[in-house]
Amino acid sequence: MAAANGAVAVTAANPSRLSAKPVVVAGAGISGAAACVTLARQGLSVVWLAPEPATPRKPGESLAAAAGPLLESLGAAGILDKPAHRRMETSFSSWGSDALLERSAIASRGGLGTAIDRSAFEADLRDLAAEAGCRVVCAELADFARSQSGWVLRTGDGQELDAGVLVDATGRSAFVGRRMTTMHRRDRLVAAVAFLQQVETDVDPTPATVMEAVQDGWWYASLLANGSLAVNYYTDPDLLARGLTRDVEAWKRLIAESRYISRWIATGGFGVAQAPHLASAGSTWLERAAGPGWIAVGDAAAAFDPLSAHGMTTALWTGIEAAKAIKRARDGETAALDAYSARVTAGVERFLADQIGIYGREVRFRKNTFWSRRVVPNLKAKPGASSVDEDRSVA
């Protein structure tokens, strides 16, 4: 199969071409690490373009219990036992009624998961990839083009690399995937993210996670093992106060409009000293998650509304399964990459159906703009960039 520029495209039907060059994984997040570890342990040569983690800290502190078997397959189950993380025993939610309902890990099949320090979690996965034999290059993918034997890549610091297969783990930016296929977007959800510190240290805050629906969005808060409180507010950009990221007083007023989140912050002795930063949180997905010589993982393949609580689990799963698909393709299974792409598409379809049902349970605010957009969402999702800067290293 000839590429548009006349070069010979890398395809799953050409395992010899796939094996001629290293697999290059672009993106420093969870899915990239999972792909690197799995690829290396299958005996493949791997180069990981993993720029140093960006600041500010990323949202995402609740790792679902379903991630346990995936971490075990990576040989990483023990990292959740480190002091940086906290097993979740209790969660509370106010969703669909004014009552605050409690959920216990004892009554939940598989438990409630783990409240993680995401920076520490990703650092451990990064170390695991290096130990597995991946060559780690602390640089960002800046450009790529087809070659006779795969790809020629250029990094942000001017390096040039050859690749047989290119793995897009660049997060919501989908730096590779967007040039290969169509990116669809269901909504433009954003998260206002802050990490609060205790100012009244004689108070012992409840180790829990709280979700609360409000008129123009919903709140998530979780006590981390280090004693800080992760607080996220989810809404649409046009419903967010202008200049919120520069106005701590506006952030305090927004918190005060909540019932349970504001109460937890106050009774837990937490201070609101800084304005939040914003992060993209909308649901996006590629028309196809793989093609000749390339494959997308994590948020680059499909980024789900955080309400699903499976973003990091999906990052692990896609990284692992994409690596297995690459190995099968090299071994001559011509449909391996297409089969992976079909599984990702099926997962997106299930999520989109579930999303409508979950938002539909909140009936108090159904006439409010934020909620009406989700009860009857735009099912004919169109390509579009987020109004918030995309992060290439998210997952």
Q: Could you read off the pLDDT tens digit of each residue along the chain, which spans 395 residues?
A: 233 333 333 343 343 344 458 999 999 999 999 999 999 999 999 999 999 876 666 666 789 889 999 999 999 989 999 999 999 889 999 999 999 999 876 656 667 789 899 889 999 999 999 999 999 999 999 999 999 889 999 999 999 999 999 999 999 999 999 999 999 999 999 999 999 999 998 989 989 999 999 999 999 999 999 999 999 999 999 999 999 999 999 999 999 999 999 999 999 999 999 999 999 999 999 999 999 999 999 999 999 999 877 889 999 999 999 999 999 999 999 899 999 999 999 999 999 999 999 999 999 999 999 999 998 655 444 444 433 333 333 34
Are 99 and 138 part of one and the same domain?
no
Are 193 and 219 part of one and the same domain?
yes
Are 175 and 269 part of one and the same domain?
no
Are 320 and 271 part of one and the same domain?
no
Q: Read off the pLDDT of residues 355-381 as tens digits, 9 standing for 90 and up.
A: 999 999 999 999 999 999 998 655 444
Residue 157 inside a domain? The answer is yes
* pTM score above 0.85: yes
Residue 9 inside a domain? The answer is no
* Residue pair 265/196 in contact by the 8 Å Cβ criterion: yes
Are 343 and 199 part of one and the same domain?
no
Are 141 and 91 part of one and the same domain?
no
Are 274 and 182 part of one and the same domain?
no
Residue 295 inside a domain? The answer is yes
Are 266 and 309 part of one and the same domain?
no
Phi/psi for 294 (5° steps) reads: -140, 160
Are 151 and 78 part of one and the same domain?
yes
Residue 10 inside a domain? The answer is no
Residue 109 inside a domain? The answer is yes
Domain boundary among 252, 280, 308: 280
Tokens representing 168 are 């897009």
Given this model, what pLDDT does residue 342 score?
A: 98
Q: How many domains does the chain have?
A: 2
Given this model, what pLDDT does residue 167 score?
A: 98
Q: Read off the pLDDT of residues 146-191 as tens digits, 9 standing for 90 and up.
A: 998 899 999 999 999 999 999 999 999 999 999 999 999 999 999 9
Q: Give the domain CATH number at 267.
A: 3.30.9.100
Contacts of 297 (CB under 8 A, 6+ apart): 31, 32, 34, 35, 167, 168, 169, 289, 315, 318, 319, 322
Q: Read off the pLDDT of residues 271-311 as tens digits, 9 standing for 90 and up.
A: 999 999 999 999 999 999 999 999 999 999 999 999 877 88
CA 266 to CA 262: how far, in whole Å? 6
- Residue ranges making up the domain that contains 51: 15-82+117-186+283-375
Given this model, what pLDDT does residue 107 score?
A: 59
Residue 199 inside a domain? The answer is yes
Phi/psi for 81 (5° steps) reads: -85, -5
Are 97 and 212 part of one and the same domain?
yes
* Residue pair 48/129 in contact by the 8 Å Cβ criterion: yes
Residue 36 inside a domain? The answer is yes
The CA angle 151-156-158, to the nearest 5 degrees, is: 75
Residue 391 inside a domain? The answer is no
Phi/psi for 180 (5° steps) reads: -105, -25
Neighbouring C-beta atoms of residue 106, cutoff 10 Å: 9
Angle between helices 118-131 and 30-41 (to 10 degrees): 20
Are 243 and 269 part of one and the same domain?
yes
Q: Give the domain CATH number at 144.
A: 3.50.50.60
